[in-house]
Amino acid sequence: MKKILLIILFLGFKLCFTQTTVEQICLSESALELTNQKVTYDPSYFSIDYPNGDVPDDKGVCTDVVIRAYRKIGIDLQKEVHEDMKANFSSYPKIWGLKSTDKNIDHRRVPNLMTFFKRRGAEISISKNAIDYKPGDIVCWNLGGAITHIGIVVDKKSKDGKRNLIVHNIGGGQVLEDCLFDFKIIGHYRYGI
């Protein structure tokens, strides 16, 4: 009887581990799918539907990559960020001088996403070790001054096999690149997986 129980427990742990890995891979695959969609970098303000609103399919910025990838796995960051900001507005950055939330743009700003992920307990230590960045992780960078950027770690390796690649939009559309350590990392998150 003890042997059967141990096997069941072992299989249970293995299933839990597999489930987490599958969710991470699903987000990674969702991000990779986005690289097939032609998108022009466009930081314009758009009035969009709520919930599940999106800017036009052929437009977007770095945050739209993250939003679209999460939406493919059933998580609407527009709605989640808006609801959290509405209930906790004072916890969010005041960079834009807003007096209230704006469901059209709040989720499309890197500092707001960083605050949201941190408030949800999704923050992971920043490291210089590539192995610490798993498929499905979200990474934020400082590009210089007050310019921030965000992307998704995917299950594809750099040519030398040492780093996972990133899907992001830094101006050339939704692309796959080896850029994990190209800029100063200011945020590392694992959310919803």
Q: How far apart are CA 165 and CA 128, in angstroms?
A: 15
Question: Could you tell me the pTM of the whole model?
Answer: 0.89
| Range 46-66 average pLDDT | 98
* pLDDT value for 153: 98
CATH code, domain carrying 128: 3.90.1720
150: domain range? 2-189
pLDDT per residue as tens digits for the range 121-168: 999 999 999 999 999 999 999 999 999 999 999 999 999 999 999 999
Our count of domains for the chain comes to 1
* pLDDT value for 21: 61
In the chain, alpha helices (H): 2-34, 62-72, 77-87, 110-119
| Range 3-11 average pLDDT | 37
* pLDDT value for 23: 84
* pLDDT value for 48: 98
* pLDDT value for 193: 67
Strand bridging mode 40-41 / 59-60: parallel
The full DSSP string for 32-85 is HHHTTS--EE--------SSS----TTEE-HHHHHHHHHHHTT--HHHHHHHHH
